[in-house]
């Protein structure tokens, strides 16, 4: 499987292309929040058939590279919606 980066600025057409090409993306929620990069359209991507994984970004935005911290941040963010 091919893999794209964080893919936070993708429209519906680009998401469909990712799905058709079987390209997965990594969701780095804490990094996106810290850097104010934008929001990954996780639900839309999953519904389109794009595999979405959870990841950590580099030291510029996640010093610990702690996947459990990332998962906890995602759970807290989802609960606030």
Q: Tally the domains of the chain.
A: 1
Report how far residue 25's alpha carbon sits from residue 54's, in angstroms, rounded to the nearest whole number. 9
Phi, psi angle pair for 18, to nearest 5°: -60, -45
Asked if residue 81 belongs to a domain, the reply is no
Asked if residue 70 belongs to a domain, the reply is yes
What is the structure's pLDDT at 59? Answer: 67
Asked if residue 26 belongs to a domain, the reply is yes
What is the structure's pLDDT at 23? Answer: 93
What is the structure's pLDDT at 33? Answer: 72
Supply the range of the domain harboring residue 57. 2-76
Phi, psi angle pair for 17, to nearest 5°: -65, -40
What is the structure's pLDDT at 20? Answer: 95
What is the structure's pLDDT at 80? Answer: 47
Asked if residue 59 belongs to a domain, the reply is yes
What is the structure's pLDDT at 78? Answer: 55
Asked if residue 43 belongs to a domain, the reply is yes
Mean pLDDT by 10-residue block, N- to C-terminus, for the chain (81 residues)? Answer: 79 95 87 76 93 79 71 59 51
Q: Give the three-class secondary structure for 53.
A: strand
């Amino acid at each position: 499987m091919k893999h794209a980066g964080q893919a936070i600025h993708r429209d519906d057409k680009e998401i469909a292309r990712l799905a058709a090409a079987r390209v997965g993306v990594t969701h780095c929620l804490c990094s996106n929040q810290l850097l104010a990069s934008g929001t990954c359209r996780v639900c839309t991507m999953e519904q389109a058939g794009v595999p979405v994984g959870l990841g950590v970004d580099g030291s510029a935005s996640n010093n610990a590279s702690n996947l459990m911290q990332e998962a906890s941040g995602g759970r807290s963010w989802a609960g606030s919606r």
